[in-house]
Amino acid sequence: METMVWIVDKNGEQLTGCPQLKEAAILLSHNEVVAFPTETVYGLGGNALVNEAIDKIYAAKGRPSDNPLIVHISDYAQLKEVVSQVPEKAEALIKAFWPGPLTLVLPKGKDVADKVTAGLDTVAVRMPDHPVALALIELAGVPIAAPSANLSGKPSPTAAKHVYDDLKGRISGLVDGGETGVGVESTVVDCTEEVPMILRPGGVTKEQLEHVVGEVSVDPALSENGQAPRSPGVKYKHYAPKGEMYLVSGGREFIQQLVRKEQDKGHKVGVLTTSENETYYKADLVLACGVRADLQSVARRLYDALRTFDDHDVHIIFSEVFPEEGVGKAVMNRLEKAASGNFICQ
Ligand code: AMP
Ligand code: MG
């Protein structure tokens, strides 16, 4: 299959008049799949009302079909096409955070294709805060189901190049709107019970949610091993680079010793750090992922760094750890998955 690529300036005026986006929207309306930028990561979109389009998303990604997709909408009226009910607290969260990196799990509307929700009677929905995504959904005229546009298991794409590397020849189109902003996926919150529950940490923090709706709980499976997660996708291997990754809690001297030991065994070793420590480490590849003092900048660069280790065929990666505050919670959640739980303590 040929993958069409359109370059679109996200700061352009009147994006709904943009010929490239119109072409992409026509493909979507023919139930083809098209990747596009959002403020979190690139998504792989398909018509959320048609199973045929959803099958193509799962096939292109190699995603297990019991892992439901997030439906993206471009205006508030569209919400009625996707969900059957909006409880009061969900309404308050929508007012406070949409458009933005917050996904709500709500009772499913009858027109949403079964395969979007993997047979569940709830559906995940959000309104992305990205002019290209909003214009494309509006032009398509239907809600768009869109998981991250990576091969299943790999780090999510934060640039069009990442999507192209993974999905070239497997999807009909790719809208290149430049690098995404937040860098980690949306926060997923289940709003079907009285107390909203975070199923996946992300761009909107627990503190921000509590400020709007009071008590918010966290799915215990996120912190306790062995618990079945309520968000089906959370149980899968995710974000993993090809090299073996270890999270290291300890000083930089300790990490440097680990590097040297592995290099002595003939391994190609990488270190994931931030610009504060970039020049300290001596390894085969040292990548600075933002600034430690600004965890948002770490989130933004994280997936690109994981993919760069792959590009250089690094065997072993040692990563510094980050405080689990604010968006640091999402950063550590993704790093723990990327490392499959490998943890070294000084
Ligand atoms: P992705 O689209 O790759 O960012 O992943 C979407 C996340 O939302 C996965 O972790 C899914 O399991 C989760 N999700 C989607 N729909 C639902 C739902 N109805 N209930 C709970 N979690 C969901
Ligand atoms: Mg994903």
Same domain, yes or no, for 57 and 135?
Answer: yes
Burial of residue 107 (number of CB atoms within 10 Å: 0-12, 13-18, 19+)? middle
d(CA 242, CA 338): 10
Q: Which ligand is nearest to the CA of 124?
A: 1
178, two tokens: 């430049």
Which domain, by its residues, includes 253? 244-345
Closest atom of ligand 1 to 67 CA is 12
Residue 172 and residue 38 share a domain? yes
Q: What's the chain's Rg over C-alpha atoms? A: 20
How many A from CA of 147 to the centre of ligand 2? 6
CATH number for the domain including 282? Answer: 3.40.50.11030
Decide if 228 is inside a domain: no
Of 183, 208, 232, the one marking the end of a domain is 183
Same domain for 295 and 156: no
And the tokens for 130? Answer: 């990205």
Q: Is the CB of 117 under 6 A from ligand 1?
A: yes
Ligand nearest the Cα of residue 153 is 2
CATH code for position 125: 3.90.870.10
pLDDT of amino acid 234 = 65
> Of 154, 135, 126, nearest to 6 (Cα)?
135
Residue in the block written with tokens 């931030």: 274
CA of 269 to the centre of ligand 2 (A): 27
Stretches in the chain below the pLDDT threshold 50:
none
Distance 233 CA to ligand 1 centre (A): 6
- Which atom of ligand 1 lies nearest, measured to the CA of 146? 2
State the closest ligand 1 atom to the C-alpha of 123, by its place in the atom list counted from 1. 19
Q: What is the pLDDT of residue 226?
A: 54
User: 178 and 251 share a domain?
Assistant: no
Counting atoms of ligand 1 from 1, which one is nearest the CA of 41?
4
Tell me what pLDDT residue 222 has.
Answer: 83
pLDDT of residue 221: 84
Is the Cβ atom of 330 under 6 angstroms away from ligand 1?
no
Query: Which candidate, 127, 68, 51, places its Cα nearest to that of 93?
Result: 127
Query: Does 193 fall in a domain?
Result: no
3-state secondary structure of 221: helix
Q: Give the per-residue pLDDT at 230.
A: 74
- 53 and 162 assigned to the same domain: yes
Point out the domain boundary residue: 183, 199, 228.
183
CB 204 within 8 A of CB 37: no
Q: What is the pLDDT of residue 235?
A: 64
Q: Is 188 in the pocket of ligand 1 (CB under 6 A)?
A: yes
- Of 183, 201, 224, the last residue of a domain is 183
